[in-house]
């Protein structure tokens, strides 16, 4: 998620291919975030998804169920080096 005053962005990054998908949303809510992520992932060949620990991903089980993707949460105390 990227937060802003005029809206927020759901940002999905493929670290292997170095490509990304972005969708603008107006409100940072779990329902809206979940629907946006599912819409972006539909038709993509994705097996896993790692998300941050924010409240916007509280409905993570619905993402897993609707996309058949294994979803993981980041460890907030580990610095990710890509």
- Residue (of 33, 70, 31) closest to 23 by Cα position: 33
Report yes or no: 72 and 50 within 8 Å, Cβ to Cβ: yes
pLDDT given for residue 6 in this prediction? 75
For the entire predicted model, the pTM comes to 0.74
pLDDT at 26: 84
Q: For residue 22, which of 49, 2, 52, 46 has the smallest C-alpha distance?
A: 2
Domains in the chain and their CATH numbers? 2-73 (3.30.420.10)
pLDDT in tens, the chain (82 residues): 576 677 888 888 877 778 888 888 888 788 888 899 899 888 888 888 888 888 888 888 998 999 888 988 887 776 655 5
């Amino acid at each position: 998620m990227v937060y802003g005053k005029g809206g927020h962005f759901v940002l999905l990054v493929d670290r292997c291919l170095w490509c990304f998908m972005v969708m603008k949303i107006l409100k940072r809510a779990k329902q809206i975030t979940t629907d946006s992520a599912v819409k972006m992932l539909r038709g993509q060949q994705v097996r896993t998804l790692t998300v941050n620990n924010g409240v916007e991903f509280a409905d993570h089980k619905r993402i897993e169920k609707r996309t058949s993707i294994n979803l993981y949460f980041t460890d907030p105390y580990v610095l990710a080096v890509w």
